[in-house]
A = this chain, B = another copy of it.
Amino acid sequence: MERYFYPDKSLWAGICKRPVLQQEELTELVQRVFEDVKSGGDEALLRYTREFDKVKLTGLRVTDREFKKAESLVTQELKDAIHLAGRNIEKFHFSQMENPVPVETSKGVVCWQESRPIPKVGIYIPGGTAPLFSTVLMLAVPARIAGCNEVILCTPPDKNGNIHPAILYAAGFAGVKNIIKAGGIQAIAALTQGTETIPAVDKLFGPGNQYVTAAKQYALSLGTSIDMPAGPSELLVLADVSANPAYIASDLLSQAEHGQDSQVIFISNENEMLVKVEKELEKQLSRLPRKQIAEKALENSKMVLMSDNSEIVDIINVYAPEHLIIATEDEDFFIRNIRNAGSVFIGNYTPESAGDYASGTNHTLPTGGYARVYGGLNMDAFTKKITFQKISPEGLKIIGSSIELMAEAEGLLAHKNAVSIRLNDINHQDEY
**Is the pair B384, A111 in contact by a Cβ cutoff of 8 Å?**
no
Chain B residues contacting A338 (CB-CB under 8 Å) are 116, 386
**Is the pair B349, A389 in contact by a Cβ cutoff of 8 Å?**
no
**Is the pair B410, A339 in contact by a Cβ cutoff of 8 Å?**
no
**Is the pair A401, B361 in contact by a Cβ cutoff of 8 Å?**
no
Chain B residues contacting A375 (CB-CB under 8 Å) are 113, 384-387
A53 at interface, CB cutoff 8 A: no
Identify the closest chain B residue to A255 (Cβ).
B414
How many Å lie between the Cα of A392 and that of B351 in the bound state?
Answer: 11
Chain B residues contacting A202 (CB-CB under 8 Å) are 372-373
Say which one of A4-12, A44-52, A154-162, A415-423 lies at the interface with B. A415-423
**Is the pair A257, B412 in contact by a Cβ cutoff of 8 Å?**
yes
A422 contact from B351, B392, B409, Cβ within 8 A: B351
A89 CB to nearest chain B CB (Å): 8
Say which one of A28-36, A62-70, A183-191, A283-291 lies at the interface with B. A283-291
**Is the pair A389, B421 in contact by a Cβ cutoff of 8 Å?**
no
- Mask of A107-141 contacts with B, CB within 8 angstroms, 1/0: 00101010011110000000001111110000000
How many Å lie between the Cα of A288 and that of B425 in the bound state?
Answer: 20
**Is the pair B421, A357 in contact by a Cβ cutoff of 8 Å?**
no
Identify the closest chain B residue to A380 (Cβ).
B380
Chain B residues contacting A77 (CB-CB under 8 Å) are 405
Identify the closest chain B residue to A352 (Cβ).
B418
**Is the pair B361, A387 in contact by a Cβ cutoff of 8 Å?**
yes
Chain B residues contacting A246 (CB-CB under 8 Å) are 421
Q: How large is the interface on A (under 10, 10 to 19, 20 to 34, 35 or more residues)?
A: 35 or more
Say which one of A94-102, A171-179, A303-311 lies at the interface with B. A94-102
**Is the pair B417, A360 in contact by a Cβ cutoff of 8 Å?**
no
A210 at interface, CB cutoff 8 A: no
**Is the pair A387, B357 in contact by a Cβ cutoff of 8 Å?**
no
**Is the pair A256, B339 in contact by a Cβ cutoff of 8 Å?**
no
Chain B residues contacting A399 (CB-CB under 8 Å) are 84-85, 88, 354, 358-359
Identify the closest chain B residue to A372 (Cβ).
B202
Given contacts A105-B360, A375-B385, A388-B335, contact A410 B130 (CB under 8 A): yes
10 A-B pairs closest in CB distance: A105-B360, A375-B384, A81-B402, A375-B385, A351-B418, A88-B105, A353-B415, A250-B418, A257-B414, A346-B390
Additional pairs, 5, CB under 8 Å, beyond known A85-B403, A130-B411: A92-B111, A250-B418, A253-B418, A354-B399, A358-B406
Q: List 21 A-B contacts (CB under 8 A).
A: A78-B409, A91-B105, A92-B111, A98-B98, A118-B373, A134-B406, A223-B370, A244-B425, A250-B417, A254-B412, A288-B414, A343-B387, A349-B393, A349-B395, A353-B416, A353-B419, A354-B396, A357-B406, A359-B391, A360-B389, A375-B386
Identify the A interface with B (CB < 8 A). Answer: 77-78, 80-82, 84-85, 87-88, 91-92, 95-96, 98, 101, 103, 105-106, 109, 111, 113, 116-119, 129-134, 166, 202-203, 217, 221, 223, 225, 229, 244, 246-247, 250-251, 253-254, 256-258, 284, 287-290, 294, 317, 335, 338-362, 366, 370-376, 378, 380, 384-393, 395-396, 399, 401-403, 405-407, 409-419, 421-422, 425-426
